[in-house]
């Protein structure tokens, strides 16, 4: 029994080096003490992952990997979607939620759009979704994602915002009506409003 325990203990001692070594194929960067590798996304992310702290050293010279962006002090990489998200300060220097910086910042073009306040970026698919997922239907602090303005910015519809048209639904073949008809208090196709009355939806109009 004693021998088994000794053997068992021995295995436990050997375990870390054996398994970190196995991980090396899928990791990008070795920690300084060469005991393990970590993903490049964890380099200079502001949290220590290497036991020797080497993943958070020399960060000024580190170039963030795709999908991540430097904080203003150049010392930390955060997810691009965390920049100017209006919900949480991710940079240790607070620069990701700095109002002036966020006004100049361009949201990730494929996925996010600016709220009407010009400061915050919100997921484009949550504009005009009128559905509460999690805590709220509003992703913009100014609630503009559910306003007429926000709804006119939803992409993937055939109604042209530039031409002053508003989509009655999120379908590709949505009926288009003039933006002025939205929340004007009138319903009915005869008056060129949405067939289903979507342009007078109470929650949306209240947020205008
Ligand atoms: Ca790290
Ligand atoms: Ca943030
Ligand atoms: Ca929303």
* pLDDT confidence of residue 135: 65
pLDDT value of residue 89:
96
Q: In whole angstroms, what is the distance from residue 203 CA to residue 56 CA? A: 46
How far, in Å, is the centroid of ligand 3 from the Cα of 109? Answer: 18
Ligand 3 centroid–CA 201 distance in Å is 14
φ, ψ dihedrals at 196, nearest 5°: -95, 10
Count the helix, strand and coil residues of the chain and give each as a percent rounded to the nearest 5: 35, 10, 55
Ligand nearest to the CA of 69: 2
Residue 168's pLDDT is what? 86
Distance 76 CA to ligand 1 centre (A): 9
How high is the pLDDT of residue 103?
96
Distance CA 125, CA 119 (A): 18
pLDDT in tens, the chain (208 residues): 333 333 344 443 333 443 444 444 556 666 776 767 788 899 999 999 888 888 999 999 999 999 999 999 999 999 999 999 998 999 999 999 999 999 999 998 878 989 999 999 999 888 887 765 566 789 999 999 888 788 777 644 567 666 678 888 877 777 888 888 888 998 887 778 888 898 898 877 876 5
Q: Identify the pLDDT of residue 132.
A: 59
The rounded Å distance from CA 116 to ligand 1 centre is 34
Q: Which residues pair with 68 in a beta bridge?
A: 79
For position 21, what pLDDT does the model report? 45
> Whole-angstrom Cα distance, residue 89 to residue 66?
20
CB 115 within 8 A of CB 142: yes
**Unique residue bearing structure tokens 């939806």:** 201
Q: Which two tokens stand for residue 108?
A: 């990730």
Residue 45: nearest ligand to its CA? 1
Distance 121 CA to ligand 2 centre (A): 10
Q: How far is the CA of 46 from the centre of ligand 1 (A)?
A: 6
């Amino acid at each position: 029994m004693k021998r088994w325990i000794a053997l068992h203990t021995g295995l436990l001692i050997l375990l870390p080096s054996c398994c970190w070594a196995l991980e090396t194929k899928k990791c990008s960067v070795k920690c300084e003490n060469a005991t393990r590798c970590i993903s490049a996304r964890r380099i200079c992310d502001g949290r220590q992952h290497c036991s020797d702290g080497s993943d958070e050293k020399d960060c000024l010279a580190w170039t963030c990997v795709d999908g991540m962006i430097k904080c203003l002090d150049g010392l930390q990489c955060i997810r691009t979607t965390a920049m100017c998200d209006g919900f949480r300060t991710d940079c240790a220097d607070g620069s990701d939620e700095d109002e002036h910086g966020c006004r100049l910042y361009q949201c990730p073009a494929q996925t996010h759009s600016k709220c009407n306040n010009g400061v915050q970026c919100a997921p484009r698919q949550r504009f005009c979704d009128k559905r509460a997922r999690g805590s709220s239907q509003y992703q913009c602090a100014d609630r503009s994602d559910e306003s007429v303005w926000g709804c006119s910015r939803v992409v993937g519809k055939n109604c042209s915002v530039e031409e002053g048209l508003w989509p009655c639904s999120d379908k590709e073949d949505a009926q288009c009506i003039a933006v002025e008809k939205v929340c004007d208090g009138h319903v009915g196709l005869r008056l060129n409003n949405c067939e289903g009355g979507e342009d007078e939806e109470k929650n949306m109009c209240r947020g205008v």
